[in-house]
Amino acid sequence: MKKSILIIIISLLFSCNSSQDFITSPDSKIKLNIHKKNGSLFYSIEKNNEMIVNKSILGILLKNNLDFSKDIKINKISKSKSYSSWSPMYGEESIIKNEYNEILVSLLKDELQASVIFRVFNDGVAFKYIIPNQDNILSYDIIDEKTEFNLSPDDKAWWIPAFSYRRYEFLHAFSSVDSISKKYFSENVEDISYDSLGVDAAHTPFTLKKKNGFYVSIHEANLINYSSMTLAPRGNGSLEAELYPWSDGTKVKLESEIISPWRTIQIADSSSDLLLSNMILNLNDDPEEGSDFSWVKPGKYMGVWWEMIGTNESTWWP
């Protein structure tokens, strides 16, 4: 389980009228930029002065047309640093470092409060939304999440279609970001009727190789009491969060405050380095104090089921 060995936190709190701010990773290689323009909040990400994610909008649309992507003000910005480590019960590493710089952006929409928390690690960036309980919010149901990931049209991605009957059991396509569609997948990857698939979107984790050579994986962490995220293409290299809906179209149904999952953007110099990232592990909640894991034992499994995906050439089946 996670157990902090060393934690150092330094906080700065101030009123913010600035239209832009930034924070870097502990090793200073990754830079997260915060932008505010025309009443909307945006972010962008760089590594070694190369763009990873271009300026992208942030926000959540609630029931009753309460839109936290428009007409907002930055009330406060709080910056902190955290350096800790913990020991997993099993795994390849006996000690996992959890080191990041954090920026908390407190927002106001009229008199309503919201915030976005960003953490910048040496291996990527994560952020999540918080909308606390407030008397003037009548419903916390989420109609849409406006989160964008604006990439380059030249970026190439490995992806499988979302909103489909086989969920995660497809062969992966490798194409430009703008090619993500059920039509492209059916005509170039697996011979299935694209009419049987849902809206044009890709599952996460969504891994891509950028034109500048960096490898990126977009996913989420600490998914609790919220809809899972897929990524829908919007043209010109842009992806938007597309949440799995309820039958009535509502994306998330909540009785009280909103705490979204972390949206994670892992960044590496090579595809193999993505596998070394512990960022998502570090973002998941600690287990409850006193939890008993003595029954968990490592083991081995050998299966034959997955070899049938895309081939249908099983020799073990009578």
pLDDT given for residue 240 in this prediction: 98
Q: Which of 147, 112, 284, 141 is nearest to 226 (CA)?
A: 141
DSSP 8-state class, residue 157: E
CA 160/CA 156 separation, integer angstroms: 13
pLDDT given for residue 168 in this prediction: 81
**Beta bridge partners of residue 318, listed in sequence order:** none
pLDDT given for residue 89 in this prediction: 86
**Beta bridge partners of residue 42, listed in sequence order:** 35, 57
pLDDT given for residue 313 in this prediction: 64
The label of the residue with tokens 């149904």 reads 253
Strand 258-259 with 124-131, pairing: antiparallel
pLDDT along the chain (318 residues), means of 10: 49 51 98 97 98 98 95 96 93 94 97 98 99 95 98 96 82 95 92 77 97 98 98 97 96 97 99 96 93 88 67 62
Domain coordinates in residue numbering, the chain: 12-307
**CA-atom Rg of the chain in angstroms:** 21
CA 289/CA 106 separation, integer angstroms: 30
Q: By the 8 A CB rule, do 61 and 68 touch?
A: yes
The amino acid present at 256, given as its one-letter code, is S
CA 303/CA 177 separation, integer angstroms: 33
CA 78/CA 117 separation, integer angstroms: 9
Q: By the 8 A CB rule, do 141 and 77 touch?
A: no
Q: Which CATH number fits domain 12-307: 2.70.98.10, 3.40.50.150, 3.30.70.3280, 1.10.340.30?
A: 2.70.98.10
CA 66/CA 265 separation, integer angstroms: 27
